[in-house]
Structure 1
Amino acid sequence: MNDLFSRLANLTARQAGRASTFVVSILIVVVWAVSGPFFHWSDTWQLVINTGTTIITFLMVFLIQNTQNRDTQALHLKIDELIRVSVDARNSMMTLEDATEEQIAIVKAELQDHCGEAAEIVRTAAG
């Protein structure tokens, strides 16, 4: 089931991101708007576009979340691989996404201090 959903999500995401899909969406809205006078701007006429866009939006939320989760996980794995092979890197960074907000704030402060020291060394050497 997960494999089928992943394949369907990938295919749909690729299609949804194409210029042609955007153009078709614009054409649908234009046709709907132009058809308004023929339906006397009825509640049913309005309901058609409202229902259609609501359903598409609802489904796209799950698709976008799936795509974002997969991309984020792949990015983490790539960065973890770079940390793993780097001699001077701290391997504890590989599990940072599992840390608490407080632990992340501490690491951020440490990195900012380190960057500040490095910037000062560069300024001194250049000066």
Structure 2
Amino acid sequence: MKDIFAKFAAACAHVAGHPLAFGISAALIVVWAIVGPYFHYSDTWQLVANTATSIITFLMVFLIQNSQNRDGAAIQTKLDELIRAGDAENRFVGIDSLTEDEVNELRAVCAARAKT
């Protein structure tokens, strides 16, 4: 189930990020605005747009978060490999699993070394 969702989320993120998706969305908004006078700007006319955007936004939050989690993990793994293979200090490998205070402490140490 996890792999199916990951593949689905990646495909949706790819489609949603395409310029055509933006164009279709913009066209739908224009159509919605054009038909407003026909429906006398009724509550139903407004409800259709509000409901559609709420549902799409709610679902896209989870898809985008899944994509960002995968991207972040991939970037962190690449950085860990560069640290491990290079002359950098190995204590920076896995820094993403440290607490915020521990990361801030390492950041301060790096900043102090950069000034010298």
Q: Into which bin does the TM-score normalised by the smaller protein fall?
A: over 0.9
1:10 alignment partner in structure 2: 10
User: Whole-Å Cα distance in 2 between the matches of residues 63 and 36 of structure 1?
Assistant: 31
Give unmatched runs, 5+ long, in structure 2: none
Deviation at 1:21, TM superposition (A): 0.6
Give unmatched runs, 5+ long, in structure 1: 118-127
RMSD: 0.8
Identical pairs, percent: 48
Could you tell which deviates more after superposition, 8-17 or 93-102?
Answer: 93-102
TM-score normalised to structure 1 length: 0.88
User: Whole-Å Cα distance in 2 between the matches of residues 107 and 16 of structure 1?
Assistant: 37
1:40-83 Cα deviation digits (max 9, x unpaired):
11101100000000000000100110010000000000000001
Deviation at 1:101, TM superposition (A): 1.7
Highest RCO, 1 vs 2 (Cα 8 Å, sep ≥ 6): 2
User: Whole-Å Cα distance in 1 between the matches of residues 100 and 15 of structure 2?
Assistant: 37
1:30 alignment partner in structure 2: 30
Deviation at 1:30, TM superposition (A): 0.5
User: Whole-Å Cα distance in 1 between the matches of residues 2 and 99 of structure 2?
Assistant: 29
User: Whole-Å Cα distance in 1 between the matches of residues 19 and 50 of structure 2?
Assistant: 23
User: Whole-Å Cα distance in 1 between the matches of residues 12 and 68 of structure 2?
Assistant: 14
The structure having more radius of gyration, on CA atoms, is 1
User: Whole-Å Cα distance in 2 between the matches of residues 40 and 34 of structure 1?
Assistant: 11
Deviation at 1:35, TM superposition (A): 0.3
Write out the 4+ residue segments of structure 1 that deviate beyond 2 Å after TM superposition. Answer: none
Which residues in structure 2 correspond to 1:27-66 (within 5 Å)?
27-66=27-66
Identify, as 1 or 2, the structure richer in helix: 1
User: 3-state SS of the aligned residue for 2:11?
Assistant: helix
Letter in 2 for 1:47: L
2:91 is the alignment partner of 1:92: yes
Deviation at 1:25, TM superposition (A): 0.3
1:111 alignment partner in structure 2: 110
Alignment length, in residue pairs? Answer: 116
